[in-house]
Every structure is written in C-alpha cells, then in structure tokens.
Amino acid sequence: MSFTESQEHRDLRAAVAALGKRYGRDYVTEVVREGRYPDELWAEAGALGYLGVNLPEEYGGGGRGITELAVVLEELGAAGCPLLMMVVSPAICGSVIARFGTEAQKRKWLPGIAAGTYRMAFGITEPEAGSNSHRITTTARREGDGWVLNGRKVFISGVDIADATLIVGRTEDERTGKLKPCLFVVERDAPGFLKAAIPMELAAPEKQFELTFDQVRLPADALVGDEDAGLLQLFAGLNPERVMTAAFALGMARHALARAVDYARTRTVWREPIGAHQAVAHPLAESHVEIELARLMMLKAAHLYDAGDDMGAGEAANMAKFAAADAAVRAVDRAVHTLGGNGLASEYGLASLLTAVRVARIAPVSREMILNYVSHTTLGLPKSY
C-alpha cells in the first residue's frame, strides 16, 4: 500500500493542471455566458490523450484506468474548468463499451470517445422512477433483427453536444414476461428520439434534457453487451461514475479553497490580513482536511475498480462520492463567505460554483440513497422501503 503518488501520476497531474490553467475559470464563465460548450478545451484535452486515458490502447486510449481519468478531471476542476461530460462519455460509456461491447462496437465507438471527437451521453433517470431505478419503464421490444424503443428520461446531461446517448432500458423476456435492464446506444438523429432542454438554475456549460423515445427503431448492434447480464454491466459503468463525480466535486472544492486562501492572505480590513483571524482560517483548514479525506477514499475506490474488484469498488465509490460532495459543498460555501461581497460578484466567478457543486450531492445518486446503501449493504440494517 502506497500513499505516495507515482512519478507518472505527478507528471499527469502537472500536465493537466497546466492545460487547465491556460483556460481557467474566466474562460468557463465566458463560455457559459455565451450559452455554448467549452469545445476548445475538450478538443485539446482529447488530442493530448487525457479524455481517453482510461480506455484500452488498442482502441485509441491511454491504457490506464479510472484512477488516471479521475486525476484529469480533478485537475481541470481545480483549475476552474470542471468538465461534467468526462463523467459520462469516457468514464461510464467508455468503460461499459470497453468491458462488455463486441469487437465491432469497440472499434466503432471507443477511438472517438478516447479522442473526444465522439461524445456519448448517458440516460438512466426517469421522471416516475427517480432514485428508484429498478422502476424504470423505458422498454425495447424486438422487431426483426433490431429493436423498438419507447419511454422517457429526465435530467440527461449534454444530449445536445453528444453524438449518441447510452440509454438504460429494459427488454421484455418473451418466456417469462419479466423486464430486464439493458443498455442501448441511440444515435442523436434517430427518428423518434426527441429532446427538450430543461430550464435549470445552473451556471454550467452542460445542459439537461428530457428525452422521449417514440417508437425509436434501433439496429441489432445498438444493444451493448448481453441482454441477460444487464445489472452487472450497468454496475461496471456506475462505479466509474461515482469515482468521477467525486473527482468532479473535489476539483471544484480545491479551486474554491485555493481562491479563498489567496484572498484571505492579502485582504486586509484591520491591521492583519483576514486569514489571520481564526474564524476565517479554521473553516478553510477544515475544508482542506475534508477534501484530503474524501480524496483518499476516491483513490481507494479507483484503485479497487482498476484492480477488477467491482464489489469492493462499489462500497468505496459510494462513500467517496458522498464524502467528496459534502466536502465540496462546504468548501465552496466557505470560500464564497471568505470573499465577503466579492464572493457573490461576477468578477470573481465563485458564486456560480454554489449551484454547480450541489449537483454532486444529488447526482448520480443522492446522499440519502448512499446512506441507505451503507445502512443496508454495509451495516446490515433493515430497509424501510
């Protein structure tokens, strides 16, 4: 067990941090104001191999793991440029296709996902099912060689900038009549695939969409993996999702904390800089402790996942996401407070993180559902639902 990062990881961190610094918070603020996506940053990160660092080398990736992809996202976030689509396209969709796709599917989708030239969104949440994804009703029925998909999804991020969306649906088992979870790639222009942007109070470049599938015809190879192994395949994507959401949150937390510390070192309204007052310093110090603790759990979860321990990674990834989201929400709140009035001033670009960081508490699974998971799975307590 080593708590020291390898030289390779330190080099990756430094290189990504340098890229993020060239763009910075002001770039993201401007992009959001213009209502567009940070395509320049995404393209450059893709060309440098950062977006596909976790994907197999034979399909254009870097041959490393979720550990390295989390380093990339954390460092971009720490530079003020968190890219939520990294959680979705290379981490969830890339991992699922790399592990369960056919050879043809891997050749078709992974090189583009790795290079960032092909983006894939991910949709599981449904309006009626909410946190209870066992209740999803989006259903694919066989027709000829292919499938026909019907249903609805909600809050799906980045569908407007994605070339396709990986949809968690169900198939009908003709023998038993039971529904089984399955993953389908739906290309953006598929007839009957309707998207409506949801107005959100979020200052982030990724928009959320309500999706309707109205008799969407899919070819046979739209089904990723095995029709009968749905849940297992799904979990292969959900562990990376939780690790990466932790990285997304911790990047923003580090950015906010660094900005607050900078400010507290120099802002002087009495004799000493405000950072000399313990009422200002202690909350920042506490945030540093919380961020470091959450980071340790994130690295443990990423390490377990990369080592092939899906079960062990499940518990650690949930706990990492929980700890990182809480640490990040507190860090951003404290940072904004440290800047006083400037904390809410557009010029400082910090207040926009107040809503952005809360996403990590709600999605992909809320903090209450993680506490439920730990209560039932780890502690063996009975269920109320």
Ligand X SMILES: Cc1cc2nc3c(=O)[nH]c(=O)nc-3n(C[C@H](O)[C@H](O)[C@H](O)COP(=O)(O)OP(=O)(O)OC[C@H]3O[C@@H](n4cnc5c(N)ncnc54)[C@H](O)[C@@H]3O)c2cc1C
Residues lying near ligand X in the complex (CB under 6 A)? 88, 122-125, 130-131, 155-157, 202, 208, 359, 362-366, 368-369, 372, 385
Contact at 8 Å (CB) between 179 and 141? no
Strand segments, DSSP code E, in the chain are: 120-123, 139-143, 146-157, 164-172, 179-187, 193-197, 208-218, 223-224
The minimum distance between CB 161 and ligand X, in angstroms, equals 12
The minimum distance between CB 349 and ligand X, in angstroms, equals 19
Of residues 137 and 372, the one with the C-beta less far from ligand X: 372
The minimum distance between CB 43 and ligand X, in angstroms, equals 21
Of residues 119 and 303, the one with the C-beta less far from ligand X: 119
Of residues 342 and 375, the one with the C-beta less far from ligand X: 375
3-class state of residue 308 by DSSP:
coil
The minimum distance between CB 149 and ligand X, in angstroms, equals 15
C-alpha to C-alpha distances, 344 to 24, 125, 258, 262, 267, nearest whole angstrom: 18, 32, 17, 16, 16
DSSP state of 276: G
Of residues 66 and 280, the one with the C-beta less far from ligand X: 66
Of residues 43 and 369, the one with the C-beta less far from ligand X: 369
The minimum distance between CB 86 and ligand X, in angstroms, equals 12
The minimum distance between CB 84 and ligand X, in angstroms, equals 7
Alpha helices in 79-160 (DSSP H): 85-86, 94-100, 103-115
Q: Which residue, 173, 171, 167, is CA-closest to 213?
A: 167
Of residues 156 and 223, the one with the C-beta less far from ligand X: 156
The minimum distance between CB 383 and ligand X, in angstroms, equals 9
Sign of CA dihedral 178, 182, 187, 193: positive
Long-range contacts of 27-32 (CB under 8 A, 24+ apart): 27/81, 28/80, 28/81, 28/82, 28/205, 28/349, 29/203, 29/346, 29/349, 29/352, 31/205, 32/203, 32/204, 32/205, 32/352
**Which residue lies nearest ligand X, judged by its C-beta?**
130
Instruction: Retrieve residue 190's tokens.
Output: 């598929």
What is the chain's alpha carbon radius of gyration, rounded to the nearest angstrom?
21
Of residues 44 and 160, the one with the C-beta less far from ligand X: 160
